[in-house]
Amino acid sequence: MGIRVIMLTGDNEKTAKAIASQTGIDEVIAGILPNGKKDVIVSLKKQGRVAMVGDGINDAPALTSADTGIAIGAGSDIAIDAADIVLMKNSLKDVPAAIRLSRASLKNIKENLFWAFFYNVIGIPLAAGLWIPIFGWQLNPMFGAFAMSLSSFCVVSNALRLNFFRLYDAGNDKKINNKDNKEETNMKKTMKIEGMMCGHCEARVKKVLEALAEVESAEVSHTEGTAVLTLTKDISDSILRETVEAQDYKVISIS
């Protein structure tokens, strides 16, 4: 559908990646705490609009932080209250169905607005007699009443076409192209780190950072107190911070 999908889970990374490989999920962030989910959502919102799907109490902070929160109907009451959209069935297949319906509704609205403006741009000057000096066009009141009814009929009929929309038909979904994937690679982040004293410290920080799946390489300098990361995929600042601070170094900032 042209949508980047990320799994946020408190489960271990091995299990999460096994599920992701079966379902075609683009990125996995595992072993994350509830506040960590919220931090990831806030970070992702800097790149574009974000929708979060969840069903548990722990998902509520992330659901409220996302541009659009989507709760599973069988989930907790707190998650449902925090979400903008509630899926009545206990099925993730309703997530793409909701997105398809939203896109179709927006397309329908734009079509109706276009035809309404187009219709009135011609009809209102005609009814006011503005076209008489130019084209000699006049509007019979009977035809005017018919034209107004026809306008409403066309708009309503177009809106009612949504009743025939097939929610679960993936045939017209937009596919991700290679250009989009390339834009996600080779991202960089710079970490300011306090506490590195020697080359051994550099090697230690470099090792733990490059162990992360999203980090392609890490250039660490104890003299400048920095670590410049080249990323294959985006990774939340909270995960980078926790990884370095677990080695007893302090992260001052991430940019």
Q: Which residue has the higher pLDDT, 74 or 50?
A: 50
Q: For residue 20, what is the domain's CATH number?
A: 3.40.50.1000
98 neighbors 106 (Cβ within 8 angstroms): no
Give the tokens for residue 126: 């005609």
Find all residues with CB under 8 Å of 20, minimum gap 6, and list them.
Answer: 7, 27, 28
State the total domains in the chain: 3
pLDDT tens for each residue of 190-220: 999 999 988 888 888 988 998 888 888 888 9
Domain membership of residue 175 (yes or no) is no
Q: Which domain holds residue 38?
A: 6-91
Same domain membership, residue 229 and residue 202: yes
Domain boundary among 132, 164, 196: 164
Note the pLDDT tens digit of each residue in 99-111.
999 999 999 999 9
Contact criterion met (CB below 8 Å) for 70 and 53: yes
* Helix, strand, coil percent content, the chain, rounded in steps of 5: 50, 15, 35
Instruction: For residues 164-188, give the mean pLDDT.
Output: 66
> What is the pLDDT, as a whole number, of residue 186?
58
**pLDDT score, position 177:** 53
pLDDT confidence bin for 91, thresholds 50/70/90: confident
Write the DSSP string, 14-71. HHHHHHHHHHT-SEEE-S--HHHHHHHHHHHTTTS--EEEE-SGGGHHHHHHSSEEEE
Q: 91, 110, 136 — which closes off a domain?
A: 91
CATH code at 243? Answer: 3.30.70.100
**What distance in Å separates the CA atoms of residue 59 and residue 40, rounded to the nearest whole number?**
12
Nearest to 189 by CA among 240, 245, 225: 240
Say whether both 79 and 143 belong to one domain: no
- Do both 62 and 24 map to the same domain? yes
pLDDT band at 125 (very low <50, low <70, confident <90, very high): confident
Q: Are residues 52 and 79 in the same domain?
A: yes
How many angstroms separate the Cα of 209 from the Cα of each of 24, 44, 149?
25, 20, 67
